[in-house]
Structure 1
Amino acid sequence: MHQIMEMFPAVTTIAQTIQLSLSPVFMLAGIGAILNVLVARLARVVDRARALEMLQPTLVGEDRTHHAWELRLLHWRMKVINTALFLCASSAIATCSVVALLFVGELAHLHIGTVVGVMFIMAMLLLVSGLVMFLIEVRLSLRATYVRNEMLGKRLS
C-alpha cells in the first residue's frame, strides 16, 4: 500500500505546484492582452492599406506620391506587427511549456529545474523582443500621422 501511495503525489505537493504556476499564468494573461492589441493594430493597418489601394488609381501628382509612400509605410508596419505577433505568441507557447514542465517534473519526480528556468528565460526574452517590435511599430505609425504645414494654417503660440 505504501508503494502505491508514493506513486501518487500528495495534495499539498500539487497545491504547491499550482502556486508555482500562478506567475506564468498571470504572464499568459498579459501576453493575451498584448496579442489582442497587436491584432487590433494589424486590422487597422490592413483596412487603411486597402482603402489607399482603392484610391491609388484615381490620384495624380503629389497626392499619388504621398499615398504610395504611405502604402510602403503600411506594408512595413504589417511586417513589424506580424513579427511582434510571432514573438509574443512564441512567448505564450514557451510560458505554457513552463507550466506543463512544472507539473510533469513534479508528477514524474524529475529534476528539471534548470530546464524550467531556461524555458522561462526564453519566454521572457521572446516577450521583450515582441514588445520592442511593438514599440518600433508605434514609432512607424507616428510617421504616417504627421500633418502637412499647408494644412495647419497659422502656428499656435
Structure 2
Amino acid sequence: MNIQISDIGHVIQLAIAPVFLLTGVATKLTVLTNRLARIIDRTRVLEDRLRLRSSAEDTSELETLYVRAHLINTAITSSTACGLMVCLVIALLFLGDTTNIPLDQYIAGLFVCAMIGLISSFVYFLREIFIASRFMRMQHMLSLQQPRQPAPTE
C-alpha cells in the first residue's frame, strides 16, 4: 500500500464536487429547519389560543400547520440522508484509492441514491410551499369578505 502524493491529490480533486454538493445540502437543511421552527412557533401560539377559546379559523390553520410540519420533516429527513450518502461517497473515494479496492459501483450507486434523496427533499419542500401559499391566499380572501371594523375615534 504505497500511496503517492499525486494519487491523494487526484482523489481530492474528485472529492471536490461532492463537497460542494454537501455544502448546498447543509444550506438547504438550514432553510428547512428555519421553516420548521417558524411552523412550530405558530403552532404553539394557536394551541394556546385554542385552549382559551375555540375557533374554526384557528383549528383550520392548525391542521394546515401540522401538514406543513410533516412535509418539512420529510424534506429534512431526505436532505439528511442525501448528506450522509454524499459523505459516504467522499469516504469511499479515498478508501478505494488508498486500498485499490474497486468501489466504483458502490460510489455510483450511493451518488444516485443521494440524488434521489435530494430530489425528494425538493419535492416535499415545494409541496410545503404550495400549501403555505394556498393557505395564505385563502386567509387573504376571507379577510376581504369580512366587513371592516370602523377605526376607533378618540
TM-score by length of structure 1 reads 0.88
- Match 1:23 to one of 17, 24, 29: 17
Look up the match of 1:4: none
TM-superposed deviation, 1:57: 3.0
Structure 1 residue ranges without an equivalent (≥5): 1-6
Root-mean-square deviation (Å): 1.4
Q: Which of 87, 92, 95 is the aligned partner of 2:83?
A: 92
Residue correspondence of structure 1 range 108-147 to structure 2 within 5 A: 108-146=99-137, 147=140
Report the CA distance shift for 1:16/1:80 in structure 2 as closer, same or farther (over 3 A): same
Relative to 1, partners in 2 of residues 1:12 and 1:144: Cα closer, same or farther, differing over 3 Å?
Answer: same
Letter of the 1:87 counterpart = S
- Residue 145 (structure 2) aligned to one of 122, 127, 150: 150
Q: Which amino acid aligns with 1:39?
A: T
Amino acid aligned to 2:63: R
Of residues 87, 105, 127 in structure 1, which corresponds to 2:96? 105
**Aligned with residue 50 of structure 1, among 44, 54, 57:** 44
Aligned length: 144
Label 1:106 to 1:141 Cα distance change in 2 as closer, same or farther (>3 A).
same
Deviation by residue 1:55-77 (Cα, 9 ceiling, x = unmatched)? 113335xxx01110110110111
Once the 2 structures are TM-superposed, how far is the Cα of residue 152 of structure 1 from its aligned partner? 9.0
Q: What 5-or-longer segments of structure 2 have no aligned partner?
A: 149-154
Distance 1:72 1:109 in 2: 54
Match among 26, 29, 35 for residue 35 of structure 1: 29
Report the CA distance between 1:142 and its aligned residue: 1.1
Cα distance in 2 between the residues matched to 1:78 and 1:45: 7
Deviations, residues 96-153 of structure 1 (Å, cap 9, x unaligned) = 0000000000000011111111110110110000110000111111122121222597
